[in-house]
Amino acid sequence: MQKIDNLECWRCGASLVEEPLPLAREAACHQCGTPLHACRLCIFYDLGVANGCREPIAERVVDKVRSNFCGYLTPRGGAHVAAAAGVSRTGLEALFGLDAPGSSASPTTEDAARAALNTLFDTEPKVP
């Protein structure tokens, strides 16, 4: 039985080194239940190329996270990318001036929101 040393679930990062290879179509992560016979776990998965697959003769698979019947699926180690999601979240929070994860993007007061809009559109509030 073949083993891949750093094989992990593409969604949660759980170790899959004990998962028998080749992956069965019904194989699922023992921790989160995510389908494993899916494009996201394959060495040919690449959204930068046509159909998201570097295997030139594989049939097109639309949903890259669901189990499929692709005969070219070859599991790759290091498929979990949670760190990138955390970096993206941090970048968005910095861009929008959020203090902490989960904080709201809306200004803390109505006056601050009105002042920000007036500054943005270079308008003065009209007095009735």
Identify whether the C-beta of residue 12 lies closer than 8 Å to the C-beta of residue 22: no
Q: Is the pLDDT of residue 64 over 70?
A: yes
pLDDT at 50: 87
pLDDT at 24: 92
pLDDT at 96: 73
| Number of CB atoms found within 10 A of residue 68's CB | 19
Phi-psi group of 28: left, alpha or beta (phi > 0 → left; psi -120 to 50 → alpha; rest → beta): beta
HSE toward the beta carbon, residue 107, CA cutoff 13 A: 9
| Number of CB atoms found within 10 A of residue 79's CB | 21
**Across all residues in the chain, what is the average pLDDT?**
80
Q: Is the pLDDT of residue 103 over 90?
A: no
Identify whether the C-beta of residue 57 lies closer than 8 Å to the C-beta of residue 40: no
Grouping H, G, I as helix, E, B as strand and the rest as coil, residue 42 is: strand
